[in-house]
Amino acid sequence: MINRANLLIPPGMQGYVSRVKETDPIEAISRNTKQFRKLLNDIPKSKASYAYAPGKWTLKEMLQHIIDGERVFAYRALHFARKDTNPLPGFDENQWADNSQANKRKWKELVNEFFILREANEMLFRNLDEQQLHHTGTANNHQASVATLIFVSAGHLDHHMSIIKERYLQPYPAEPSKSSTKSRKKAGKKKAEVQKSAPKKKAAPKGKTQTGNLKKDVGFATPGKSANAKAKTKTKEKGKLKEKRKANAKPAPAKHKQPVTKTAKKKPVKKK
């Protein structure tokens, strides 16, 4: 049995190994192959030359890179299993992709090549005993075991399957899913219900602004007063001034009215 806790894993390959859940590297490879076959069946031919952004690989270049990686990891595993002590070089994946001419190849041909290669690699790995799986060697200036490289092969493919699903088979950047849209709508309805049930605040009187807990001395000018309101305040102030003036003014001397004398009415003289 392979104990994953004791695996010799180079720093740059830790991410690939952590993607694999199985404890048996051969089982991981077998499951991985079935998942990839199912994914490739869902990819239309029209997508083969598609790249999700400028400067990114097309699907053909992506698949060619996966094939190249399979060859490199399998050769390193064979090299270490046979106890070859010569260190192996690394490889520049971008340089390899630029010189692969993958876009000139047929999509179906690339797909067939991968599965033929994966079948051969699985046969190689299945025929290694536990002692051979623990053999180690040096590649790209880092030590690794044969079992580690099998896990890396499975994790590397799993990594690129995720990229294909997220960036090549869906709009990129991804649009919000229906489930997330529904949840937002539900949240909006609940918010509306809460607002309806909440007590309504009294409207502020006309010409005044609600300042809440603001202090009076914060220097805010109260907006909203109309020209009519200002005119009313001016007239009130004028009225108060007039009343003050009247109160402070000296009373005028009273005028004496002359007595009115009544004149006796003359009796009419009767003519004889």
What range does the domain containing 15 cover? 11-168
In order of 64, 98, 121, 132, the CA distances from 67 in angstroms are 5, 15, 11, 24
Residue 235 lies in a domain: no
Q: What is the CATH number of the domain that holds 31?
A: 1.20.120.450
Long-range pairs, 79-84, Cβ under 8 A, ≥24? 79/137, 79/139, 80/135, 80/136, 80/137, 80/144, 80/145, 80/146, 80/149, 81/128, 81/132, 81/133, 81/135, 81/146, 83/135, 84/137
The number of CA neighbours under 13 Å toward the Cβ of 11 is 1
| pLDDT value for 178 | 47
Is residue 215 domain-resident? no
Residues 143-174 have pLDDT tens digits of 999 999 999 999 999 999 999 999 998 877 65
pTM of the predicted model as reported, rounded to 2 decimal places: 0.64
- Assess if residue 84 is contained within a domain: yes
In a domain, 119, yes or no: yes
**Would you put residue 233 in left (φ > 0), alpha (ψ -120 to 50) or beta?**
alpha
Is 19 part of any domain? yes
Instruction: Answer whether 204's CB lies under 8 Å from 223's CB.
Output: no
Q: What does the pLDDT look like over 175-206, one tens digit per residue?
A: 544 443 444 455 555 555 545 555 555 554 55
Cis preceding-peptide flag for 11 (omega within 30 of 0): no
In a domain, 142, yes or no: yes
Question: How would you classify residue 97: left for phi > 0, otherwise alpha for psi between -120 and 50, otherwise beta?
Answer: alpha
Whole-number Å distance between alpha carbons of 18 and 173: 26
Q: What is the residue-level pLDDT of the chain in tens, covering all 272 positions?
A: 677 777 888 888 999 999 999 999 999 999 999 999 999 998 998 899 999 999 999 999 999 999 999 999 999 999 999 999 999 999 999 999 999 999 999 999 999 999 999 999 999 999 999 999 999 999 999 999 999 999 999 999 999 999 999 999 887 765 544 443 444 455 555 555 545 555 555 554 554 434 343 333 333 333 444 445 555 556 667 677 777 676 666 555 555 555 555 555 555 544 44
- d(C-alpha 11, C-alpha 219), whole Å: 62
91, two tokens = 């490889």
Provide the number of structural domains found in the chain: 1
Instruction: Write out the two tokens for 113.
Output: 């090549």
Handedness of CA 24, 25, 31, 32 (dihedral sign): positive
Note whether residue 6 is domain-resident: no
For residue 116, is it within any domain?
yes
Bridge-based pairing state of the strands 142-145 and 136-139: antiparallel
The residue type of 150 is: I
The tokens describing 44, both together, are 């239309």
CA 42 – CA 51 distance, rounded (Å): 17
